């Protein structure tokens, strides 16, 4: 969701059509992928919901996402889920789920910042507050100057 990350990667032009804020019910956000510097985001089944940007993408963008998410390295797998955007249902929206889920671990500060920056002013106010509070309470992350 983070435009800055896409810009740095040189792929921002592949992600210009934003359909809206998708709500995926029966999932929650967790950091179940352990990288060398900390956790990475995942969606796990729950009685909650996850919010995020839904883009209309082409084959080039999908190919980039497969590489970035480590599909061929068996880190994440593509999954097709249903989401609601402004009350309308969208079926078979692609997302990526961690294959070998581990115990949740704190994400590094730079990654937490990417998640919050991408979500800010896009997801619902309540969801954003819960994202931020979850990082602060679950992982004892501290705010620096109002931002991670």
Domains, in order of start, for the chain: 3-104 (3.10.490.10)
User: Is 51 considered catalytic here?
Assistant: no
* Distant-in-sequence, close-in-space partners of 72: CB < 8 Å, separation ≥ 6: 66
pTM above 0.85, yes or no: yes
* Predicted confidence pLDDT, tens digits, the chain (148 residues): 888 889 999 999 999 999 999 999 999 999 999 999 999 999 999 999 999 999 999 999 999 999 999 999 999 999 999 999 999 999 999 999 999 999 999 999 999 999 999 999 999 999 999 999 999 999 989 856 444 4
Q: What CA–CA distances, in Å, run from 73 to 44, 45, 59, 66, 98?
A: 20, 23, 19, 10, 11
- Of the residues 13, 45, 51, 69, only one is catalytic, namely 69
The one-character DSSP state at 15 is: S
């Amino acid at each position: 969701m983070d435009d800055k990350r896409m810009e740095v990667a040189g792929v921002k032009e592949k992600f210009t059509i934003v359909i809206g804020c998708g709500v995926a019910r029966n999932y929650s956000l967790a950091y179940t992928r352990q990288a060398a510097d900390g956790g990475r985001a995942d969606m796990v089944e729950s009685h909650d919901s996850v919010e995020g940007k839904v883009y209309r993408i082409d084959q080039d963008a999908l190919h980039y996402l497969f590489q970035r998410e480590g599909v061929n390295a068996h880190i994440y797998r593509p999954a097709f889920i249903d989401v609601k955007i402004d009350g309308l249902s969208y079926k078979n929206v692609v997302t990526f789920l961690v294959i070998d889920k581990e115990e949740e671990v704190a994400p590094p500060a730079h990654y937490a910042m990417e998640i919050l920056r991408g979500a800010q002013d896009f997801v619902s106010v309540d969801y954003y507050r819960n994202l931020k509070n979850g990082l602060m309470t679950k992982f004892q992350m501290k705010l620096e100057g109002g931002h991670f």
